């Protein structure tokens, strides 16, 4: 965990978090948040696409299948925990579940940064898993939410846009395609901007995310102890599934760490946007506080190095 | 100068397009929108991340359209979304525009 | 509290300075301006590039100044530029300011 | 629909939080704020650097709260800070919100 | 054309265009558009100035003269096509003509990126031609528009500001002067920011431009078939003139390609700003849709590689 | 002074200043001003922290003490000049004095850029002096202002936030700590973004600062000749103190130049924000015009090279 805390990216997140908690007058203009998240999604996609360009695609198939399974299983588990044990309403449970089945691209970027920091190699196609994991859980969540409730006609058009053409998925896909088409060589002209600059931009973005996350903490009381606990235990459950499926589908320790982290991460861009439209009765304070206020910091600070240890352990057990 | 109604809507930016489409369907000839932050019964909305932004939409229209808009928004969005709506009297030249 | 007029102008950002200069010449003691987007008879103005931005300008002034502003804007800009203007009644303290 | 007052405050962004805290203490249930630029007796405030930004704050509330806000702001900030305040009549549904 | 499409810069433009057409919720904050366009104009100027620092200036004279000729001839031709064949009003014709006589700095940046991609050398003073071409057409357009019409006193002051102190010309000039004064060596401290980062920033900007252009497509019906056709044919006419004058004034194939592209490109910063003030009766939807919605994408995707072929051909004919 | 003017950073400032004076329509979006100032403060801190990581800290003690002395003495001197000679009100005098006792991080960045330009080495802990100088003068100013005046209860909470958690001090501190903890090696992943890119970003920021400063010039008449004079003479007085204390505490010529520049620089972020809250009766036009409109440009263009000469002279005298 120390290596992790010595990653500038994580230290910047802490700095933002503290600034928020201490109520510093530090504010980043809205636009920087949008610009950086767009930049990061593109850069993640480009890097992934360029690596894909050089990897044997047949290896991706079983991990890809595993990801989709995770994307369906995790939200179902999460739903029942929230509904049965947490006694949350159906819409609330379904909406929160969708967030935990989906993924956080920034958490993904941080785990890659962590792995390169500790020189742990990973499969070059992991970005494909990121893209595959974003979608299914959102569909599952919406499906569950609407099973019995009748909240007027589902604005399917709007919704499909939110999901497939939502900026996060679209930008990842654009980056992936462009990166794949051009390959590492073709990307050279933009390498400095999108590769060399990436970790600095990520650090800067995490300063902002620290501020945003700290603002969510104010709502912790409102959401109740159960959800706080859920925000920490659910990622652990998911990461275990991720580790097992990672090893089972032949991923390296690094690749397994990535899959576990993806499983453990909760969406804070695609899922909220889709849920707000598709499941309006769900209280956004609940899913945002859990995803952004609890799980995101937990994964960054404690989760990632932990999942790495878990990946090693699972490998020596099942590998 | 002729009298018209000014409808002011403050709501979540993520439903701006939906609201505007509805408003146009109800007969408004135009609107003006400004990004905003604020606080109300659904908590503070400081615009520090995507779903936390407000938008302030203004529509100049005739009395009946104004009331149609208010009623429609009330029943469609009030229950699930952060939203307020209020009306004011204004005077315009070129009334045919509104 | 004393009564004053509130003049609200929504127009193209690229003529903001021209409009403000005119308004000051006509006797306004101040103004407040906010960047906006919107839609009207001249189409959608989403501010996605330089000439496509709107600005919402607000002036608190006395009745005669208000009407002078409206008339001037009508004849100077209405024909060629995206613009609406409307008046409302407001109450102010420190009326001498306005 | 019921009548309420709309209080509009334009002031320096650097005291936004102080003003909002006061307004809430005085009984307002919410507010909407928009960043602005403008000009008045204290010169031009174009928002080109930190202390040079304006904010436009809007509060829908009942008559007595409105007047309490105006009086408080007048005596607390008018002398030292760039600020204007004005009132208007508005109609709202769900009056209990305000 | 394939080389061209394999330039990341162009692929990003397509990605933006598609996002817009598919109505993705992808939006870039206004400020990023402004910041990037300011950055690009400065960087283009700096690069040009630094190159100028090292080139023999006497070679620039005849191409410079040729540029000014182009800047006057093109808008006149365009005006008569629009007025006589297109039956557009005098102000509309004059305003549109001014756009086609003036230039697009971003198109200029893309042609340079294209030439370096295919390793085609070009004269180091081409940025001077860019600067020289921006102005004259705007003056010509205003002159024609005001010949007979009487639309109140011309706000000459305002107008001169719009043009000479308009941000595009001013930033290009600042960059050019600073770059020339400091030379490549003096610029070293800012090289990474303004040179190495340039193409990445350009790619990012073109993603945004793709979105902007796609929004203009909605107006295609409004402006009518003639203008759409004009938006494609006019650049071809201008590029032929550019090729001929380029070869005639002794430019290399690369330099000729640049001059042809400049001639073919239509302004979307300086000209619109100036026309809106100087020729208010002209309908901005017309010149913007033509310049931004039709000609800009056409030049980026089809035009530039085509003009390169034309430059080669003209050279083997006249050279 | 010529070397100084040949620094791109200074040329960009001039370009902005001229654009403003000529009333060019060049505007940078607010957000870019905020983003860049945040970035610069962080980067300054990081660089300083990383250097600190490698320097012997005992050498820092006496210069640190000297800085605090300067931070207390300078505002007192400034106050008496303004109050007695300038006949300014107590609040105005105290508020302006606080600005001149505090520092400008950007001026600090420019002097470092100048020193590396002319290859003049300086102590690696200078950033500590920057941080130490920011605070005390602000406290002194507030203390003086409130000695007799009674302007309602001092919002101490708000105020302490403004100062200690004000963004400038907070970001410098964050950078300093992160840089110190990670050291040059640990910062490698973000080096391109925060070190290599720094001077380019600084140049860009100074273009904006030139515009901002030029807007202040409009108020020169309003503030009167005395304050204009003060804005030029006060930095000279402070720089002399800085030089003497620098040499006395064993700083090199480079380090002495830095301390002199810090002493001469006037705050335009922390001090204004704090004064506006703590001394509301003081007229902000006065302190902003003096600090941003007069002293800032003076230091950038004339002051820095001058202070360098003074540092050399003082060394040969006392050294
Ligand atoms: N009393 C009020 N005055 C002005 N704006 C308000 C008021 N109440 C709510 N708002 C605005 O309307 C938004 C939604 O309100 P609510 O649904 O009550 O959370 C808030 O975020 C504020 O921007
Ligand atoms: N009925 C309306 N209500 C509110 N704002 C309007 C209305 N009509 C036009 N506007 C605003 O005024 C601008 C110019 O209007 P127009 O000249 O009709 O295109 C539009 O872009 C809108 O921002
Ligand atoms: N007559 C007015 N109409 C509209 N807004 C005004 C007016 N006077 C002042 N303002 C706004 O209120 C702010 C502070 O006013 P002042 O205290 O007079 O400088 C100005 O910066 C403007 O944004
Ligand atoms: Na997940
Ligand atoms: Na052209
Ligand atoms: Na100082």
Distance CA E176, CA E190 (A): 14
Touching pair B, D by Cβ (3+ pairs < 8 Å): yes
Distance CA E301, CA E309 (A): 14
Whether residue E64 has pLDDT greater than 60: yes
Average pLDDT over residues F84-101: 97
Q: How confident is the model at residue E26 (pLDDT cuts 50, 70, 90)?
A: confident
**F6 neighbourhood in chain E, CB within 8 Å:** 181-182, 186
* pLDDT for the residue A162: 64
Scored b (16 or more CB within 10 A) or e, F247-264 reads bebebbbbbbbbbbbbbb
Distance CA E135, CA E141 (A): 10
Residues with CB under 6 A from ligand 1: B 10, 38-42, 45, 54, 82-84; D 28-32, 58-61, 98
> What's the helix, strand, coil split of chain C in %, to 5?
35, 45, 20
Query: Which stretches of chain A sit within 8 Å of chain B by CB?
Result: 27, 30, 33, 151, 155, 158, 211-212, 215, 219, 268-269, 272-273, 276-277, 280-281, 284-285, 288, 292
Q: Flag if A200 and F178 touch (Cβ within 8 Å).
A: no
Instruction: From D16, D43, D84, give the residue whose CB has the most ligand 3 atoms within 8 Å, as the site to mutate.
Output: D84
Q: Which residue did the predictor score with more confidence, C98 or E306?
A: E306
Q: Which residue did the predictor score with more confidence, A63 or F153?
A: A63
Of A25, A28, A201, nearest to F166 by CB-CB distance is A25
Q: How confident is the model at residue E150 (pLDDT cuts 50, 70, 90)?
A: low
Of E162, E182, E190, nearest to F199 by CB-CB distance is E190
Query: Which stretches of chain A sit within 8 Å of chain F by CB?
Result: 6-9, 11-12, 15, 19, 22-32, 113, 117, 192, 196-197, 199-201, 203-204, 207
Q: Flag if E292 and C49 touch (Cβ within 8 Å).
A: yes
Whether residue C33 has pLDDT greater than 80: yes
Q: Flag if B33 and C35 touch (Cβ within 8 Å).
A: no
Average pLDDT over residues E34-62: 91
Distance from CA of F32 to the nearest CA of D (A): 10
**C66 neighbourhood in chain D, CB within 8 Å:** none
Distance CA A39, CA A33 (A): 10
Nearest CA to A249 out of A53, A68, A122, A60 is that of A60
Distance from first CA to last CA of chain A, Å, rounded?
24
Touching pair C, A by Cβ (3+ pairs < 8 Å): no
Q: What is the 3-state secondary structure (H, E, C) of B40-59?
A: ECCEEECCCCHHHCEEEEEE
Give kind and range of the element (H or E) at residue B33.
strand B31-40
- Assign F22 to helix, strand or coil: coil
Q: Flag if E186 and F19 touch (Cβ within 8 Å).
A: no
Residue C74 forms contact with E (CB below 8 Å)? no
Distance CA F43, CA F46 (A): 5
Distance CA A125, CA A104 (A): 17
- Contacts for A125 with CB less than 8 Å, ≥ 6 apart: A48, A51, A52, A55, A57, A59, A60, A63
Mean pLDDT of chain F: 92
Residues with CB under 6 A from ligand 2: B 28-32, 58-61, 98; C 10, 38-42, 45, 54, 82-84
Of A35, A161, A165, nearest to E32 by CB-CB distance is A35
Which residues hold their Cβ within 5 A of ligand 4, which is an ion? A 103, 265
User: Tell me: the pLDDT tens digits for B54-91?
Assistant: 999 999 999 999 999 999 999 999 999 999 999 999 99
Distance CA F52, CA E139 (A): 58
Judge if ipTM > 0.90. Answer: yes
Q: Which of C6, C33, C40 would best serve as a mutation to test chain B binding (most B beta carbons within 10 A)?
A: C40
Nearest CA to E295 out of E102, E7, E77, E62 is that of E102
- Assign C96 to helix, strand or coil: helix
Q: Please provide residue F281's backbone torsions phi and psi, each rounded to the nearest 5 degrees.
A: -70, -20
User: Tell me: the pLDDT tens digits for D22-55?
Assistant: 999 999 999 999 999 999 999 999 988 889 999 9
Distance C44 CA to ligand 4 centre (A): 39
Low-confidence ranges of chain A (pLDDT < 50): none
Distance F241 CA to ligand 6 centre (A): 11
Whether residue F261 has pLDDT greater than 90: yes
Strand ranges (DSSP E) for D22-82? 31-40, 43-45, 54-61
Scored b (16 or more CB within 10 A) or e, E233-268 reads ebbbbbbbbbbbbbbebebbbbbbbbbbbbbbbbbb
* pLDDT for the residue B28: 97
* pLDDT for the residue B63: 97
Beta strand C31-40 pairing with C54-61: antiparallel
Scored b (16 or more CB within 10 A) or e, E212-222 reads bbbbbbebbee
Mean pLDDT of chain D: 95
With a 6 A CB cut-off, is C21 part of the ligand 3 pocket? Answer: no
Whether residue F121 has pLDDT greater than 90: yes
Joined tokens for residue F175 = 């950078």
Residue D78 forms contact with C (CB below 8 Å)? yes
Distance from first CA to last CA of chain D, Å, rounded?
13
Q: Flag if E171 and F26 touch (Cβ within 8 Å).
A: yes
C-alpha distances (whole Å) from C42 to each of A184, A281, C82, E68, E168 are: 46, 37, 6, 35, 26
Q: How confident is the model at residue E30 (pLDDT cuts 50, 70, 90)?
A: confident
Of E22, E31, E201, nearest to A193 by CB-CB distance is E201
Residue owning the nearest CA to atom 17 of ligand 3: D82
Q: How confident is the model at residue F152 (pLDDT cuts 50, 70, 90)?
A: low
Q: Which residue did the predictor score with more confidence, E251 or A269?
A: E251
Beta strand B83-92 pairing with D83-92: antiparallel
Total H helices, total E strands in chain D: 2, 5
With a 6 A CB cut-off, is D55 part of the ligand 3 pocket? Answer: no
User: Tell me: the pLDDT tens digits for A132-141?
Assistant: 999 899 989 9
Distance CA E182, CA E310 (A): 36
**B59 neighbourhood in chain C, CB within 8 Å:** none
- Tally of residues, chain C: 98
Q: Which of C50, C78, C83 would best serve as a mutation to test chain E binding (most E beta carbons within 10 A)?
A: C50
Beta strand C43-45 pairing with B2-12: unpaired
Distance CA A95, CA A93 (A): 6
Distance CA D65, CA D60 (A): 9
- Assign F8 to helix, strand or coil: helix
Q: Flag if D1 and B74 touch (Cβ within 8 Å).
A: no
- ∠ CA F223-F226-F230, nearest 5°, is 100
Joined tokens for residue E202 = 């350009």
User: Tell me: the pLDDT tens digits for F182-221?
Assistant: 999 999 999 999 999 999 999 999 999 999 999 999 888 8
Q: Flag if B86 and D97 touch (Cβ within 8 Å).
A: no
Cβ distance E127 to E76 under 8 Å?
no
Query: Which stretches of chain A sit within 8 Å of chain E by CB?
Result: 29-31, 34-35, 38-39, 42, 161-162, 165-167, 170-171, 174, 178, 181-182, 186-187, 189-194, 197, 273
Average pLDDT over residues E65-93: 97
* pLDDT for the residue D32: 98
* pLDDT for the residue F166: 80
Q: What is the 3-state secondary structure (H, E, C) of E171-231?
A: HHHHHHHHHHHHHHHHCHHHHHHHHHCHHHHHHHHHHHHHHHHHHHHCCHHHHCHHHHHHH
Of C46, C48, C80, nearest to E281 by CB-CB distance is C80
Nearest residue of B to residue D91, measured between CA atoms: B87
Joined tokens for residue E8 = 């990341």
Residue C74 forms contact with D (CB below 8 Å)? no
Distance from first CA to last CA of chain B, Å, rounded?
13
Distance CA D85, CA D73 (A): 8
With a 6 A CB cut-off, is D39 part of the ligand 3 pocket? Answer: yes
């Amino acid at each position: 965990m120390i290596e992790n805390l010595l990653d500038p990216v994580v230290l910047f997140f802490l700095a933002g978090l503290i600034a928020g908690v201490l109520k510093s007058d530090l504010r980043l203009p809205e636009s920087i948040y949008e610009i950086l998240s767009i930049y990061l999604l593109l850069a993640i996609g480009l890097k992934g696409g360029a690596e894909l360009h050089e990897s044997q695609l047949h290896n991706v198939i079983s991990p890809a299948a595993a990801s989709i399974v995770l994307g369906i299983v995790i939200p179902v588990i999460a739903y029942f925990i929230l509904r049965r044990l947490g006694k949350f309403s159906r819409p609330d449970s379904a909406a929160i579940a969708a967030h935990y089945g989906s993924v956080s691209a920034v958490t993904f970027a941080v785990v890659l940064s962590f792995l390169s920091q500790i020189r742990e190699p990973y499969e070059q196609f992991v970005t494909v898993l990121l893209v595959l994991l974003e979608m299914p859980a959102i569909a599952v969540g919406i499906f569950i939410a609407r099973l019995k409730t009748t909240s007027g006609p589902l604005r399917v058009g709007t919704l499909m846009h939110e999901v497939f053409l939502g900026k996060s998925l679209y930008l990842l896909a654009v980056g992936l395609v462009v990166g794949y088409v051009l390959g590492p060589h073709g990307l050279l002209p933009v390498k400095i901007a999108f590769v060399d600059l990436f970790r600095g931009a990520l650090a800067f973005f995490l300063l902002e995310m620290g501020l945003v996350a700290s603002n969510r903490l104010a709502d912790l009381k409102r959401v109740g102890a159960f959800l706080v606990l859920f925000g920490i235990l659910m990622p652990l459950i998911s990461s275990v599934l991720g580790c097992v499926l990672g090893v089972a589908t032949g991923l390296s320790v690094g690749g397994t760490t990535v899959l576990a982290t993806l499983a453990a991460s909760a969406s804070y861009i695609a899922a909220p946007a889709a849920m707000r439209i598709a499941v309006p009765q769900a209280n956004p304070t609940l899913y945002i506080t859990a995803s952004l206020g609890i799980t995101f910091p937990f994964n960054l600070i404690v989760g990632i190095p932990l999942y790495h240890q878990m990946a090693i352990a699972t490998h020596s057990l099942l590998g | 100068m002729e009298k018209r109604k000014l409808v002011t809507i403050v709501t979540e930016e993520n439903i701006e397009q939906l609201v505007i489409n509805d408003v146009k369907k109800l007969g408004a000839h135009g609107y003006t929108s400004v990004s905003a932050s604020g606080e109300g019964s659904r908590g503070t909305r400081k615009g520090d991340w995507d779903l936390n932004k407000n938008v302030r939409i203004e529509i100049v229209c005739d009395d009946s359209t104004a009331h149609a808009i208010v009623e429609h928004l009330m029943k469609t969005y009030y229950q699930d979304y952060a939203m307020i709506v209020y009306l004011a009297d204004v005077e315009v030249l070129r009334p045919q525009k509104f």
